């Protein structure tokens, strides 16, 4: 009689069907066998960005898919309103960092997995942190956060002299998103498929209310909330920035919105609605998160193992009336500022780092303010924190040509802020700098130079 399978063998049964045998849809480098399964455990490092409704599902699915080295980053703390769909959290966890609790709960349930949590903003991590991961999985509800991580992943991308992406520099991403009964899963392979910025037009502009309506004739609960958020806050807290992640700030807006709603006889103002309006949160449904997470986890497995061809390249799901899924193949924008070879900037060898930073502010394509500059992982100038700004300040008066080793052309990275739709957002840009009058740049395509 055959021995009963162990718990570990039972858990990997379906996974083994993908990794231990070949098939008609496998990738060109796929080599089935136990070694592949072991390599995924040993070398497959996955970063999950976001530990909310989708992020909780992603951590669980990836752990159950054989990945053993996971990390998760999230800046939020658990709130009572999270508990209906973020299944890793309990009432006693309210107030604790989402990343830390999510990591702890998954490790309690899935033996052998190690999850390192990071309770911080994604912008707080340097490029070196993101470079160590095999793939990045996104479970975010913010366009700005997606755009930033996309620019980070694309910053590692290098091109050869024919402007073809070098495979060893590609940092793939899997992005998921949900809105009620709708969701999407997409595969982003920088330099090969369209990146997030290539298809930014897929996301509709945020709804904005006329200020005159908010101030004079509010008609909905959302009008009352935005009045408290956009008008009343500045009247009472002159000069103090509103922080949507500060519970005290959000509670103040809720209380003011409630007063305004009572004044105009408008029902429906709740704390959860206040959060949704201020932070542009769309109500989430647990089943949609589970479906989209499963699709993202499967694509992550396919990319790192080659056990099947990957999604090409955008899947949409709609479960509002029945069930509808569709796959669309979008095309890469060859002139994309983020995943392209980089913005070409031609400079004199005498241009100082300070002057170079000023040029980025006025560049028609970049318009990058308060830029921090790095070169091959070395910080040339950092705007923050103060200790790094002081350490790198002396470089501002030195020519950039000298700082990068007096080579005729190279790539530098600039992190700063840009304005989109009247809103300042953090971004990272790759810049191809070429120095005029220096031997060795004849082969550089200088079309579009500044």
Length of the chain counted residue by residue:
450
Phi, then psi, of 256 in degrees rounded to 5:
-65, -40
296 is catalytic: no
- Find the catalytic residue in 212, 224, 296, 427: 212
Work out whether the CA dihedral 126, 129, 135, 136 comes out positive or negative.
negative
Tokens of 292: 């989209």
CA angle 142, 150, 298 (to 5 degrees): 85
Between the two ends of the chain, the Cα-to-Cα distance in Å is: 77
Q: Tell me how far apart the alpha carbons of residues 156 and 260 are, in angstroms, rounded to a whole number.
A: 50
Active-site residue set: 212
């Amino acid at each position: 009689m055959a021995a009963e399978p162990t718990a570990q063998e039972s858990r990997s049964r379906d996974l083994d069907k993908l990794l231990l045998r070949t098939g008609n849809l496998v990738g060109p480098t796929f080599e089935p066998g136990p070694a592949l399964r072991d390599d995924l455990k040993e070398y497959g490092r996955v970063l999950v960005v976001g530990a909310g409704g989708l992020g909780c599902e992603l951590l669980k699915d990836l752990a159950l898919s054989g990945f053993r080295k996971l990390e998760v980053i999230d800046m939020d703390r658990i709130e009572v309103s999270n508990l209906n769909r973020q299944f890793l959290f309990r009432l006693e966890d309210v107030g604790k960092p989402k990343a830390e609790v999510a990591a702890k709960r998954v490790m309690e349930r899935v033996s052998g997995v190690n999850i390192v949590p990071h309770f911080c903003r994604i912008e707080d991590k340097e490029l070196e942190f993101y470079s160590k991961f095999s793939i990045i999985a996104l479970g975010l509800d913010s366009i700005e956060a997606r755009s930033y991580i996309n620019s980070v992943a694309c910053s590692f991308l290098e091109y050869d002299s024919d402007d073809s992406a070098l495979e060893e520099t590609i940092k793939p991403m899997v992005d998921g998103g949900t809105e009620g009964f709708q969701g999407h899963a997409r595969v982003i392979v920088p330099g090969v498929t369209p990146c997030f910025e290539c298809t930014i037009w897929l996301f509709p502009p945020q709804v904005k209310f006329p200020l005159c309506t908010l101030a004079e004739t509010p008609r909905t609960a959302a009008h009352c909330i935005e009045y408290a958020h956009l008008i009343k806050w500045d009247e009472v807290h002159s000069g103090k920035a509103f922080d949507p992640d500060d519970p005290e700030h959000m509670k103040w807006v809720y209380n003011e919105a409630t007063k305004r709603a009572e004044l105009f006889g408008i029902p429906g103002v709740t704390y959860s609605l206040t959060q949704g309006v201020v932070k542009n949160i769309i109500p989430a449904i647990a089943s949609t998160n589970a479906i989209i997470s499963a699709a993202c986890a499967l694509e992550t497995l396919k990319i790192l193992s080659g056990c099947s061809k990957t999604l090409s390249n955008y899947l949409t799901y709609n479960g509002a009336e029945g069930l509808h899924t569709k796959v669309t193949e979008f095309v890469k924008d060859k002139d994309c500022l983020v995943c392209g070879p980089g913005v070409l900037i031609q400079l004199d060898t005498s241009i100082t780092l300070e002057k170079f930073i000023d040029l980025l502010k006025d560049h028609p394509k970049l318009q990058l303010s308060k830029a921090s500059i790095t070169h091959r992982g070395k910080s040339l100038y950092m705007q923050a924190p103060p200790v790094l700004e002081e350490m790198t300040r002396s470089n501002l008066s030195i020519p950039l040509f000298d700082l990068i080793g007096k080579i005729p052309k190279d790539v530098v990275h600039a992190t700063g802020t840009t304005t989109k739709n009247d809103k300042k957002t953090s971004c990272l840009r790759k810049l191809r700098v070429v120095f005029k009058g220096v031997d060795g740049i004849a082969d550089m395509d200088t079309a579009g130079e500044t």
